[in-house]
Structures are given as structure tokens and as C-alpha cells.
């Protein structure tokens, strides 16, 4: 594989100005869930210019991409995944511009040699990772049917590949009370905001009784209209997360009981609803992960030891459909939190772009391994089937 690896590294190095430009454009024009029109168009154009057969708007999602390399033969099918949505207010505080550019670089690098390789190469652009569940919808639409291995990278404060994620469900909790003058006749009101606050207090009391690593966290989305009106409507949005789907569901039941207790205590009426697609926990494929690890180490990167912080990603749903990896590559020091203004700076930094380039090379070399090594493909599939 030495010759293939050298060719991959040379190809990504030659594309560095192009990949930096793609990352910069996506960074400078952040787009939210399902609104990634500019980013998806730029990626589609880059792939089309490289000879890929590009479909923009697959599975009924206007900003989803499926691009297949025209050189196709018997053998496995490898998918390289991109994300490109941003966060409200913050922009690219999760570094999805780097994810998109790395996926593009990996696909183009393998594509340059695809005529000499068996199987099929597919680039999948996935919108709305930040809460919209784009990959969940793509899985349900059958986009990953026939895929033998899927992979992507995520910028982080650490480097790891066999790293899981938390299953997540997002819930809206709403209370309705009775409005009244908060000074002249408060006794005639039923305070919906008090019910929201009591729900938070109940959850806070639960924290010492839930498993390590599990999470229930939320924000108040509406707390009233004016201080001199007893709030007749108040609402909060909560995330329940756990490493196991069953325990996440148990947390949801606890959350509901906290809200029911708050409604009983205040006299407000309660309604609860799931507001987005739930995500499954990531099931990393260790056979594929070992190949990625080997390549990244040869590029001079070292891996951090577990345990490491866990978030949630719709790549978890992909990993339940096909063998998959969601590799993390360190692009900053541990003191900088993802989804922060500090990480916005990281996403446009030199270190961020160096991590993006390394990830593109490691993914491309791993893709070549899958296409050319029946043993790796068999090991990845056997592990997936056993799970």
C-alpha cells in the first residue's frame, strides 16, 4: 500500500489551496439546518468539475448531495461524508467547514486514482447535523443502501477514532396558566413560568441519581411577556442524552415526571412533545478505525486515551445502517470548548486547516484500504453483523 499512500498524500497536498478556499467560503457564509444552499452548491460544483456524477437535492432534501465517481466496477462501495451546517448566532463553532473540506479532499484524492481501483466511490453531503437529523432522513430514504463502509472526520480538542456518542432526544415542555396583574391581583393568576422553574429544580435534584455521562439539559424558550403580567404561557426545550438508547428513554420518563410534578404544584397545564428526530448512539467500527488510526499515526499524529467527552451526532444512525467511523482530530487545545466563540476562531485557524488536511489524507487512505483489501472489508462487516 506504500505507493497508494504516497499518491494520496501528494494529491491532497496539491489540492491544499483549493480545500482551504472551500473551507473559507463555507466558514464566511454560515448557513443553518437545511439552508446550506451556498455550501452544498460549492461542494457539488467542485465534485462535478472533478468528473463525479453529482445529484444535488437527493432524498427530498434540497441541500443533500450524492456524488458517485464514474469509474465503477465489481467490489465494495465506500462513502465519504460531509457536514456543512452552522450554529445559530455562533456560525461555525463546530468546525463543519473543516469537515466539508476534508471530505471533499478525501473524495477527490481517491477519485484521481479510482480508474485503477475496484468498487465504487460515493461522496454524501449531509445537511442539518445540528439538530435537524439530515443523516437520519438519508438513512430512511435508502441513500446508504449498498454502502459497505462510511466515514467522516470531526474537528475536536482530542484525537480519537473508536469513540462513541450519546443517543439524544429533544423535547419541548410547555405550560399554560392564567394571566393576571402581577401586583394588583396575583392571586387570580396561575404562573406558567413557576412551573418551568420547578421543572428545572426537579431535574437539578435528579443529577446525583443519574448515570455518569448521561445528560439532561435545557433552556427557557419563553418566560412571559412583561413583569407586571403573571405569565400564562412558558416553555423550555430540553435535551436528554445517554450512551444507551434505553437509558435515554428512562431519562425522558424522569423528565416528564418532573414536569408533571411542576404542573401539579402550580396548577398549570402541561404539554410535552418531541421536536426533532432522535439520534442513535454511535457504533464505531473498530476494524475501519484501526486502518484510519494507522494512517493518521503515519502522518505524525498521536491519539488521546479514553475516556473523552461525548456529544451526539446523527452519524450514529449511519453506524447502525452500515459499518462506519466518525474520527476526531485535534485542532486546538482542550481548554477551548466546541460550540463556543473560541472554537469559531479555531475553525478558521492554521491548526484547524492542518487537521483538516491530515483527516482528508487518512480518510482517503482508509477508503483505498477498503476498496483493495477483502480482509478489511470482511472484518468490518463481521464486526457490524455481530453488533
Tell me, what CATH number does 200's domain have?
3.30.70.360
Q: Is the pLDDT assigned to residue 310 strictly greater than 90?
A: no
| Contact in structure between 26 and 42 (CB atoms under 8 Å) | yes
| pLDDT, position 1 | 52
In the chain, what percentage of residues exceed pLDDT 70? 99
DSSP state of 87: B
Q: Is the pLDDT assigned to residue 308 strictly greater than 80?
A: no
Separation of alpha carbons 333 and 330, rounded Å? 8
Give the residue from 239, 274, 309 where a domain finishes: 274
Are 30 and 51 members of one domain?
Answer: yes
Are 173 and 262 members of one domain?
Answer: yes
C-alpha cell belonging to residue 176: 399554560
| pLDDT, position 100 | 98
Are 17 and 136 members of one domain?
Answer: yes
Give the residue from 274, 292, 324 where a domain finishes: 274
| Contact in structure between 28 and 344 (CB atoms under 8 Å) | no
Average pLDDT over residues 52-67: 98
Separation of alpha carbons 17 and 208, rounded Å? 50
| pLDDT, position 307 | 66
Separation of alpha carbons 212 and 151, rounded Å? 28
Average pLDDT over residues 341-362: 97
Of 118, 115, 136, 119, whose CA–CA distance to 127 is shortest? 136
Separation of alpha carbons 297 and 26, rounded Å? 28
Q: What CATH number does residue 39 fall under?
A: 3.40.630.10
Are 369 and 263 members of one domain?
Answer: no
**Of residues 329 and 306, which shows the higher confidence score?**
329
Average pLDDT over residues 300-320: 90
Instruction: Tally the domains of the chain.
Output: 2
Mean predicted lDDT score pLDDT of the chain: 96
In the chain, what percentage of residues exceed pLDDT 90? 93
Q: Which residues contact 189 (CB under 8 A, 6 or more apart)?
A: 177, 178, 179, 180, 181, 182, 230, 232
Give the residue from 274, 301, 332 where a domain finishes: 274
Q: pTM of the prediction?
A: 0.91
| pLDDT, position 2 | 64
Are 203 and 326 members of one domain?
Answer: no
Are 172 and 159 members of one domain?
Answer: no
Are 101 and 173 members of one domain?
Answer: no
Domain residues for the domain of 94 are 2-165+281-386
Angle at 167 between CA 87 and CA 294, to 5 degrees: 85
Separation of alpha carbons 125 and 34, rounded Å? 12
Of 173, 49, 71, 176, whose CA–CA distance to 122 is shortest? 71
pLDDT per position as a tens digit, 33-55: 999 999 999 999 999 999 999 99
Are 313 and 340 members of one domain?
Answer: yes
Are 161 and 171 members of one domain?
Answer: no
Are 356 and 217 members of one domain?
Answer: no
Are 347 and 285 members of one domain?
Answer: yes
Beta bridge partner(s), residue 175: 234, 270
Average pLDDT over residues 316-323: 98
Are 298 and 196 members of one domain?
Answer: no
Amino acid at each position: 500500500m506504500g505507493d497508494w499512500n504516497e499518491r494520496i498524500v501528494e494529491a491532497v497536498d496539491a489540492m491544499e489551496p483549493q480545500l482551504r478556499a472551500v473551507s473559507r467560503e463555507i466558514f464566511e457564509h454560515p448557513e443553518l439546518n437545511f439552508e446550506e444552499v451556498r455550501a452544498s452548491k460549492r461542494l457539488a460544483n467542485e465534485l462535478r468539475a472533478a468528473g463525479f456524477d453529482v445529484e444535488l437535492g437527493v432524498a427530498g432534501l434540497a441541500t443533500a448531495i450524492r456524488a458517485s465517481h464514474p469509474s465503477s466496477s465489481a467490489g465494495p462501495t465506500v462513502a465519504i461524508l460531509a457536514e456543512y451546517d452552522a450554529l445559530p448566532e455562533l456560525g461555525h463553532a463546530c468546525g463543519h467547514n473543516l469537515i466539508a473540506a476534508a471530505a471533499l479532499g478525501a473524495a477527490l484524492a481517491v477519485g484521481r486514482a479510482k480508474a485503477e481501483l475496484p468498487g465504487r466511490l460515493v461522496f454524501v453531503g449531509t445537511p442539518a447535523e445540528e439538530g435537524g437529523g439530515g443523516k437520519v432522513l438519508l438513512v430512511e430514504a435508502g441513500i446508504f443502501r449498498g454502502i459497505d463502509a462510511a466515514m467522516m472526520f470531526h474537528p475536536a480538542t482530542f484525537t480519537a477514532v473508536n469513540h462513541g456518542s450519546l443517543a439524544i432526544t429533544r423535547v419541548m415542555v410547555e405550560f399554560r396558566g392564567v394571566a393576571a396583574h402581577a401586583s394588583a391581583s396575583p392571586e387570580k393568576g396561575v404562573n406558567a413560568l413557576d412551573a418551568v422553574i420547578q421543572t428545572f429544580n426537579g431535574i437539578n435534584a435528579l443529577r446525583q441519581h443519574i448515570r455518569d455521562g448521561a445528560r439532561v439539559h435545557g433552556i427557557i424558550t419563553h418566560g412571559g411577556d412583561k413583569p407586571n403580567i403573571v405569565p400564562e404561557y412558558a416553555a423550555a426545550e430540553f435535551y436528554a442524552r445517554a450512551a444507551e438508547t434505553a437509558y435515554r428513554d428512562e431519562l425522558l420518563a424522569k423528565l416528564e415526571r418532573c414536569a408533571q410534578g411542576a404542573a401539579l404544584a402550580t396548577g398549570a397545564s402541561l404539554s410535552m412533545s418531541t421536536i426533532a428526530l432522535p439520534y442513535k448512539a454511535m457504533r464505531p467500527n473498530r476494524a475501519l478505525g484501526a486502518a484510519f488510526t494507522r494512517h493518521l499515526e503515519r502522518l505524525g499524529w498521536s491519539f488521546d486515551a479514553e475516556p473523552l467527552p461525548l456529544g451526539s451526532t446523527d452519524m450514529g444512525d449511519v453506524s447502525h445502517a452500515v459499518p462506519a467511523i466518525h474520527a476526531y482530530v485535534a485542532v486546538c487545545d482542550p481548554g477551548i470548548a466546541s460550540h463556543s466563540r473560541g472554537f469559531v476562531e479555531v475553525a478558521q485557524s492554521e491548526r484547524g486547516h492542518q487537521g483538516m488536511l491530515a483527516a482528508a489524507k487518512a480518510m482517503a487512505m482508509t477508503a483505498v484500504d477498503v476498496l483493495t483489501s477483502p480482509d478489511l472489508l470482511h472484518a468490518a462487516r463481521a464486526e457490524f453483523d455481530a453488533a
